[in-house]
Structures are given as structure tokens and as C-alpha cells.
Amino acid sequence: MKGRIEASADVAATAAVGSGTLIWHLAQVREDAVIGTDCIIGRGAYIGPGVRIGDSCKIQNHALVYEPAVLANGVFVGPAVVFTNDVYPRAVNPDGSLKTAQDWDPVGVEVEEGASIGARAVCIAPVRIGSWATVAAGAVVTRDVPAYAVVAGVPARQVGWVGPAGHPLTAGPGPDEWSCPVTGAVFEVAADGVLAPSSSREQEQTSYRD
């Protein structure tokens, strides 16, 4: 399936759009942006110059993904999410002259595989959102989010763990272990506080699609 770009969308000639990707009404994709295969770019979304988006991502309506953001495969970005790129924002220099691209260095948000960013969340660059993490709607992310973590609030703080199926993990069956109520997969917390699939027990291979 070839990509589909609505007539009202503004896609730069130097942007690369993968096969199967859909770009909807009034979206803007800037110069040298790279969008992978089978993505959905929603109505009114903005993808900045040089932004890199992996395969099978969903960028919902009116999300603002400013350069130099990098999104891995399978990332969900909810409606009206903002990825910032200026640590010290000012419209003018101290002498009153209008700032140009040469007067500041953009920094980006990095989102790892499978992570989800809820509607109207704001991610303040530079931050990294770990794989399969979930950022709650309306959260303001000011520091890195660990893999599989759920964060919420202003500023965002961790409130739990989540699995690839998107459901919160429940404690057990063993100490420092968490399990997915949908797939049965078991995860364990390492000494450094990082969650990962359990290496000490055989994982059930049941898919939540079954």
C-alpha cells in the first residue's frame, strides 16, 4: 500500500514518507523530516524539520513534534501533545534583536519503542521516554521516564508500571515482580530500579490478541 497524503496537507519536497503512511488534512511535515512505514499523522499535526519517526507510529490531531525529536517504532502521540525544543526560550536577544536560528541550539525529545504520550501532555526537552512507558494525559514531563513506567501530574512523577499491552501491571507473583493481567507476562525490578521482562521464570507466550 502506498502512502496517502491529503491534498490540504503540507509536506516538504525533501521530507521522506514511508509506504502505507497516512497524512491527514492540514498536517505539516517540514524539510528533511523522516516518517517510517504504516504511520498515521493526524489532522493539523506538525512535524518539524529533520524529525525522525519510526514505523507504525500514530501522531494524533494537532500534536506538535518539534525538531530534533526522534521517535522509535510503535510510538503513540496523543491529540495536542507538545514536544518542546528550547531550554531557554526567548523571542529576542538581550540587545532586543529578534532571535534567529543561529542564536539558539534546539534540543529534542527522544521516545523509545512502543511508548505512549497521552492527550495534551507536554514533554520539556531534553528528555527521553523509555520503551513501552505511558505518559498520562495532561502531564508535564521534565525528566527522563524509565521503560515501562507510568507517569502523571505536573511535573510528571511515576505512579506505576505498564506492559506492552498498555494495561497497568499488578504486583506479584514473586517479590519485586509485576505481571500483566492481559498477557500474563512477568517483569522484575532490578537493583537499580529498572523494570524488565523477568529472566528468572519462563514467560507465558499468550498474546492479548488471542
SS (H, E, C) 71-134: ECCCCEECCCCEECCCCCCCCECCCCCECCHHHCCCCCEEECCCCEECCCCEECCCEEECCCCE
Q: Which own/partner pairs from 152-160 qualify as long-range (CB within 8 Å, at least 24 positions apart)?
A: 156/121
Domains held by the chain: number: 2
* pLDDT band of 45, cuts 50, 70, 90: very high
Task: Please check the confidence at residue 33 and state whether its pLDDT lies above 60.
Answer: yes
61 and 133 belong to one structural domain: yes
Task: Please check the confidence at residue 153 and state whether its pLDDT lies above 80.
Answer: yes
170 and 135 belong to one structural domain: no
173 and 198 belong to one structural domain: yes
140 and 105 belong to one structural domain: yes
Region label for 2, one of left (φ > 0), alpha (ψ between -120 and 50) or beta (otherwise): beta
- Give dist(CA 62, CA 87) in Å, integer: 22
Going from the C-alpha of 17 to that of each of 29, 34, 47, 77, 187, the distances in angstroms are: 9, 6, 12, 18, 36
CATH code of the domain in which 56 resides:
2.160.10.10
Q: What is the DSSP string of 146-181?
A: -TTEEEETTTTEEEEEB-TTSSBPEE-SSTTEEE-T
102 and 18 belong to one structural domain: yes
172 and 152 belong to one structural domain: no
66 and 3 belong to one structural domain: yes
Write down the number of H helices and E strands in the chain. 0, 26
- Give dist(CA 66, CA 48) in Å, integer: 5
Each residue of 62-93: pLDDT tens digit?
Answer: 999 999 999 999 999 999 999 999 999 999 99
> Which amino acid would we find at residue 1?
M
* pLDDT band of 103, cuts 50, 70, 90: very high
Task: Please check the confidence at residue 38 and state whether its pLDDT lies above 50.
Answer: yes
Domain that holds residue 195: 165-210
6 and 98 belong to one structural domain: yes
DSSP 8-class letter at 18 = -
107 and 205 belong to one structural domain: no
* pLDDT band of 98, cuts 50, 70, 90: very high
Q: What is the pLDDT of residue 28?
A: 98
* pLDDT band of 175, cuts 50, 70, 90: confident
Task: Return the percentage of the chain with pLDDT > 70, whole number.
Answer: 94
* pLDDT band of 135, cuts 50, 70, 90: very high
Contact (CB, 8 A) for 131 and 115: yes
99 and 181 belong to one structural domain: no
Residues 151-175 have a mean pLDDT of 95
Q: Domain boundary at 123, 147, 162, which?
A: 162
